Structure formats: structure tokens, C-alpha cells
Amino acid sequence: MAGAPNLWSQVRSFLAELRRRRVYRVAVVYAVVAFVVAQVGELVFPALRLPDWSLTLLVVLALLGFPIALVLAWAFEVTPEGGAVPSPWRSPGRMRARRSVPDRSVAGSSSSSSGS
């Protein structure tokens, strides 16, 4: 049974990483939003005279989107500023400073509209 403590520590490490990347939060929020959308669909679809299978399609799409949302939550850390690539994926050689170049189409359209 020497492998059992090692396996348990790997599971605990994996669960801690899920918690750190806030995958649990994404799962709960997704489930709540999917439930609310299904409830609204159940109320609104008959009034819109949509076919009976449309609610089933909505639920199936929500179920198919759940693992996708979890994978994206794992791959991209959600921060208050928005999504970010986790630090182990960033490599110093790949990160380059981008020069900010003004968009000429925006600058040109603002100058032409102010001239009229």
C-alpha cells in the first residue's frame, strides 16, 4: 500500500489546483445559469410556438457546453481584470512587449467626422 498515500496526495493536489483556478466557481455559475435559461425557455417557448423538441435541444446544448466551460476554466485563469493565461504556460521567450500602434482607420474616421 505504498502507492496509496502518493495517489491520495496527487488527488489532493489536483483538487487544490481546481480550487486555485476557480474551476468549482465556473461549474456552479454555469449550472445556475443553465438552470435559469432552461426555466425561462420552459415559460417562453410555448408562447413563441416553438416545437416541443426545442426545449430538449436547449438542455442538450447546455449539457454539451458544461465540459467545454470547465476545460476553458482550467486553461484560462479568471481574474477580476478578465481571463489570463496561467503563469506556468507563459514563457519569457514568447512574451514580447507589443508596441502600441494607433489604428489609422479610427484616427482617420474621427478626424473626418469632426471636420464636417
Distance CA 45, CA 106 (A): 42
Can you give the pLDDT at residue 14? 85
pTM of the model: 0.62
**How confident is the model over 29-40, as pLDDT tens digits?**
999 999 999 999
**How confident is the model over 3-53, as pLDDT tens digits?**
567 888 888 988 888 888 888 889 999 999 999 999 999 999 999 999 999
Phi then psi dihedrals of residue 97, to 5 deg? -70, 130
**How confident is the model over 74-115, as pLDDT tens digits?**
888 766 666 666 665 554 454 444 554 555 544 554 444 555
User: Which of these, 60, 59, 86, lies nearest to 75 by C-alpha position?
Assistant: 86
User: Which of these, 11, 56, 63, lies nearest to 34 by C-alpha position?
Assistant: 63
